[in-house]
Amino acid sequence: MTVASEGLQRHYDAKYALEAGGGSVGWIARPPIPTDRFQACCRFFPDLFHGGRILELAAGSGLVARSLIASGLPFESYTSSDFSEARLAGLERTLDDPRVRVTRMDAEDLPESEFGRYDAVILIALIEHLVDPLRAMQRVRKLLRPGGFAYLDTPNVAKYTRRLKLLFGRFPSTASRNEGLTTYEGDPVDLHDEGHLHYFTHRSLSLMLTQRCGFARVRALTYFTGGRLLGRAPDHALARLWPGMFSEVCLVAYV
C-alpha cells in the first residue's frame, strides 16, 4: 500500500467510524422519479439486471444492497465491498442475506482471482475518488462476464449549477462548499472537495470507457438533483432532454 493510499484509508476509516456498529438499518423503495444517486440505482438497476452475480465496489453503508434485496431483485450472489474497515464492519452487521459476501476490495488493485466472475459491477460515487480511474476501469472491465455491465454514477462537473460557479470565477466543487474547503455541514474538510480527485462530464466518461477501458458501448441514464426549477416531473424531463446540463453522470457500460 502506498503512502497516499494509507492516508486515504485513515481518512475514510475516521470519517465513517460510526458506521462500524451498523447504525440504523433502512432501505429505499423503488421510486418512480429518482432525486439522488441512490434512488437512481434503485430505480434503474432492476430493469438492467436479469440475474447472476453482482459486485458493488465502495458499498458504503449498504443502502443500495439492502434496497435491491428488499425489492426482490433476482440474483445468485451479491459481493459488497469497501475500502474502509469501519464500513466493512457495518456491512457485516446489516447485510444478513446468505447470498451476500462482504469483503475488502480496493478498486485500484482488483485481484485477478475476481476476473470474469460478475454479471454486473456497481460503482456509485467512487470513480471520482480514484487516483487512476482509467486503469481502474480497465480492471473493472475484466471483472465482467460476457454480456455483463458496469453501472456508474459520478457528479457531472458540467451541470448547470457548476457552470454558473465557473462563470463567476468559483471552483465547481462537487462534494463541498467554499472552494472545496468546507463540508456541507460547515466543518473544515480533511481532503480537498471531500477527496474528489477527478471530474467528469457525460462525454468524457463515455469516451474513456469505450476508447480506453475496453467497454463496447455506454448508455446514459438521467435524473435531476438539487433545488427544484419547474417541479419534479418537468425537471426530470429536462434531465432526459439535456443530461449534460441537468443530470449527474449516470452510465451503464456494456462489455
pLDDT in tens, the chain (255 residues): 444 566 666 666 666 666 666 655 689 999 999 999 999 999 999 999 999 999 999 999 999 999 999 999 999 999 999 988 999 999 999 999 999 999 999 999 999 999 999 999 999 999 999 999 999 999 999 999 999 999 999 999 999 999 999 999 999 999 999 999 999 999 999 999 999 999 999 999 999 999 999 999 999 999 999 888 998 899 999 999 999 999 999 999 999
CA distance 119 to 127: 19
Last residue of one domain, picked from the residues 190, 214, 242:
190
The parent domain of residue 209 ranges over: 3-153+200-254
Query: What is the separation of C-alpha 24 from the centre of its chain, rounded to a whole number of angstroms?
Result: 21
The answer as to whether 195 is a domain residue is: no
Count of domains forming the chain = 2
DSSP 187: P
Are 175 and 219 contained in the same domain?
no
With a CB cutoff of 8 Å and minimum separation 6, the contacts of 207 are: none
CA distance 157 to 244: 9
Are 163 and 143 contained in the same domain?
no
End-to-end CA distance of the chain: 30
